[in-house]
C-alpha cells in the first residue's frame, strides 16, 4: 500500500455549507454534529450549513467548526476505506484536529479546546491595529534577509507561516507590516493583506497562549495512535505533557509547514490527503513537493481519484478480518489450563462478552474499529490469555498473527501483551 499522510485544514478554509453533503449522506457524521452541538451549546449544523458568513468567520466559531468538519471528513474516509495513514499533520488549528483524529484528545475535549483557543485569540486580536500579510515571489532566504534588516523585526512583526517555497506570511502591528511590506516590495516581492482578525502566531498572542494554557491544563491527553507532526518544530509529537507545551507554544510561534512537508517526504509518504473544507493544503503539498500525489477529501473528483488510487488496498482491507473478530476467534481456540470456575467466569467469559458486544456495536453502526477499540480488544484477549494460562511465546505469536492478518502494523506495532505470570 502507498504510504500516505492526512493533512487537516487550518483557519481560512471555512465556508458556509462546509460539511453539509457529508452530513446528509453519512449517519456517523450526523452523530458527530449532534455531539458537538451538545458539547458547545451551539447548533453546529446551522452554523456550518445555513448561518451567516460573519458568524462562521468569528474565530471562536471558526475553530471548533473546522475541527468538527475536518475530523468528520477523516473518520468518514477511514470507515469507507478501512485505511489508516502513516502520519498526520495540521496547519495551525488543524494540528488540534489531527490530535483528535489520532485519538490523543477526545472529540468533546478537542471541541472545547478549539472554542477556548478561538476565544482567547479573538480577545488578543488588536482590531484595526494588527494583522497578517502574505508574501510571495521571494525565496525564504531573501525574505529573512529583508525582514531582519527592517526596523521592528521580532518586536513589531514576525514571520508567522513558512508555507512553501515563495509563500510566507508575516504577522504583527500594521505599522510593522507596512514597513516590512515596503522593503519586501522593493526586493521584488508581492504583499497580500489577509482577512484575519488578529496577528496570529506572533508574540502579540502571548495573553491568548496564557489563557489557552489554563484550559488545556485540565484536559486529558494520551499518546497519539497515529504519529502527528508538531507545527512549532516539524517533529513528531511525543508524550502528552510535550503535546500540551507544543500546543500552547504554537499560538505565538511560526507554523513550519514547509519543514513539515519535508519531514513527511523523508519518511516515505507518497500520497497527501487533506481532511476538511477546501483544498488549501492540497495546493501547498503541490507547491512543496513536485509531482506530489495530493488530494482533498472535500472535492468529489478527488474522492473518486483516491478510491481508484487505493482501490486494491481498499478491497484487501474489506476482505481482512477485523482485530475484534480475530481476537474473538483466538480467544475461543486458545487451550485452557485453568479449571477454577470463578476465575474462568471473570477472566474468560466476561472479557469474551465484552468482545462480542464491541463487535455487535461496530457491525450495527457499519464502522471499522478505532485504534482505541483495537487496543481494548487486545486487552480483553490478554486477560483471557492470562486466565487460561497461555505461555508468553504463544501470546507473542498470536499478536503477530493478529497484526499481520488484519494489516494493522502501523497502529499496533508497539502493542504488547503483559508477560505471563
Per-residue model confidence as pLDDT tens digits over 176-187: 999 999 999 999
pLDDT tens track for 88-102: 999 999 999 999 999
Residue 313: per-residue pLDDT: 83
More confident residue, 102 or 27: 102
pLDDT tens track for 232-277: 999 999 999 999 999 999 999 999 999 999 999 999 999 999 999 9
236 to 63, 226, 246: CA distances (angstroms)? 23, 10, 11
The answer to whether 103 and 129 have CB atoms below 8 angstroms apart is no
Catalytic residue, candidates 9, 13, 76, 92 = 92
Catalytic residue, candidates 201, 237, 253, 322 = 201
pLDDT average, residue stretch 203-229: 96
Alpha helices in 275-337 (DSSP H): 280-288, 300-309, 311-319, 323-333
pLDDT average, residue stretch 121-136: 88
Is 237 catalytic? The answer is no
pLDDT tens track for 282-339: 999 999 998 899 999 999 999 999 989 999 888 877 778 889 999 999 999 899 999 8
- Pick the closest to residue 35 from 112, 88, 99 (CA basis): 112
Q: Which of 138-142, 157-161, 325-329, 365-369 has the lowest mean pLDDT?
A: 365-369
3-state helix, strand, coil in the chain (%, to 5): 55, 10, 30
pLDDT tier for residue 421 given thresholds of 50, 70 and 90: very low
Cα 123 to the chain's mean position, in Å? 25
Q: Is the pLDDT of residue 141 over 60?
A: yes
Grouping H, G, I as helix, E, B as strand and the rest as coil, residue 196 is: coil
Sign of torsion over alpha carbons 375, 378, 382, 384: positive
The answer to whether 184 and 143 have CB atoms below 8 angstroms apart is yes
Q: Is the pLDDT of residue 419 over 70?
A: no
pLDDT tens track for 370-380: 888 999 999 99
- Pick the closest to residue 96 from 82, 80, 116 (CA basis): 116
pLDDT average, residue stretch 214-229: 95
Is 201 catalytic? The answer is yes
pLDDT tens track for 60-80: 999 999 999 999 999 999 988
Average per-residue pLDDT in the chain?
Answer: 93
Calpha distance 79→84 (Å, rounded): 10
pLDDT average, residue stretch 96-115: 97
Contacts of 415 (CB under 8 A, 6+ apart): 375, 378, 399, 403
Q: Is the pLDDT of residue 344 over 90?
A: yes
Name the pairing type of β-strands 87-90 and 4-8. parallel
Amino acid at each position: 500500500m502507498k504510504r500516505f499522510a492526512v493533512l487537516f485544514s487550518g483557519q481560512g478554509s471555512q465556508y458556509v455549507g462546509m460539511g453539509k453533503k457529508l452530513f446528509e449522506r453519512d449517519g456517523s457524521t450526523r452523530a458527530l454534529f449532534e455531539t458537538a452541538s451538545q458539547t458547545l451549546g451551539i447548533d453546529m449544523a446551522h452554523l456550518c450549513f445555513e448561518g451567516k458568513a460573519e458568524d462562521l468567520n468569528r474565530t471562536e466559531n471558526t475553530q471548533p467548526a473546522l475541527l468538527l468538519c475536518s475530523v468528520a471528513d477523516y473518520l468518514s474516509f477511514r470507515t469507507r476505506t478501512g485505511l489508516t495513514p502513516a502520519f498526520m499533520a495540521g496547519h495551525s488549528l488543524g494540528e488540534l484536529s489531527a490530535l483528535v483524529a489520532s485519538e490523543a484528545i477526545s472529540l468533546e475535549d478537542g471541541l472545547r479546546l478549539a472554542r477556548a483557543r478561538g476565544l482567547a485569540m479573538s480577545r488578543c486580536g488588536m482590531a484595526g491595529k494588527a494583522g497578517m500579510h502574505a508574501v510571495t515571489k521571494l525565496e525564504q532566504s531573501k525574505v529573512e534577509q529583508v525582514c531582519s534588516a527592517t526596523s521592528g523585526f521580532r518586536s513589531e512583526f514576525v514571520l508567522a507561516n513558512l508555507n512553501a517555497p515563495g509563500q510566507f506570511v508575516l504577522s504583527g502591528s500594521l505599522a510593522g507590516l507596512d514597513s516590512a511590506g515596503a522593503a519586501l516590495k522593493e526586493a521584488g516581492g508581492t504583499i497580500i493583506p489577509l482577512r484575519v482578525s488578529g496577528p496570529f502566531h506572533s508574540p502579540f498572542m502571548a495573553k491568548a497562549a496564557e489563557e489557552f494554557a489554563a484550559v488545556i491544563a485540565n484536559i486529558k491527553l494520551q499518546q497519539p495512535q497515529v504519529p502527528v507532526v508538531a507545527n512549532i518544530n516539524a517533529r513528531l509529537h511525543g508524550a502528552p505533557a510535550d503535546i500540551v507545551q507544543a500546543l500552547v507554544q504554537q499560538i505565538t510561534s511560526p507554523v513550519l509547514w514547509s519543514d513539515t512537508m519535508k519531514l513527511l517526504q523523508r519518511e516515505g509518504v507518497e500520497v497527501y490527503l487533506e481532511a476538511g473544507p477546501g483544498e488549501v493544503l492540497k495546493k501547498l503539498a503541490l507547491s512543496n513537493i513536485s509531482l506530489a500525489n495530493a488530494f482533498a477529501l472535500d472535492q468529489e473528483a478527488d474522492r473518486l481519484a483516491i478510491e481508484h488510487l487505493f482501490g486494491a488496498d481498499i478491497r484487501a482491507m474489506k476482505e481482512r478480518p477485523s482485530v475484534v473478530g480475530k481476537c474473538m476467534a483466538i480467544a475461543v481456540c486458545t487451550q485452557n489450563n485453568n479449571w477454577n470456575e470463578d476465575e474462568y467466569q471473570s477472566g474468560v467469559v466476561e472479557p469474551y462478552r465484552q468482545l462480542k458486544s464491541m463487535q455487535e456495536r461496530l457491525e450495527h453502526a457499519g464502522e471499522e474499529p478505532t485504534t482505541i477499540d483495537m487496543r481494548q480488544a487486545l486487552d480483553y484477549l490478554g486477560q483471557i490469555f492470562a486466565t487460561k494460562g497461555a505461555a508468553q511465546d504463544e501470546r507473542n505469536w498470536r499478536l503477530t498473527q493478529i497484526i499481520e492478518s488484519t494489516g494493522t502494523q502501523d497502529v499496533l506495532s508497539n502493542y504488547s501483551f503483559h508477560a505471563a505470570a
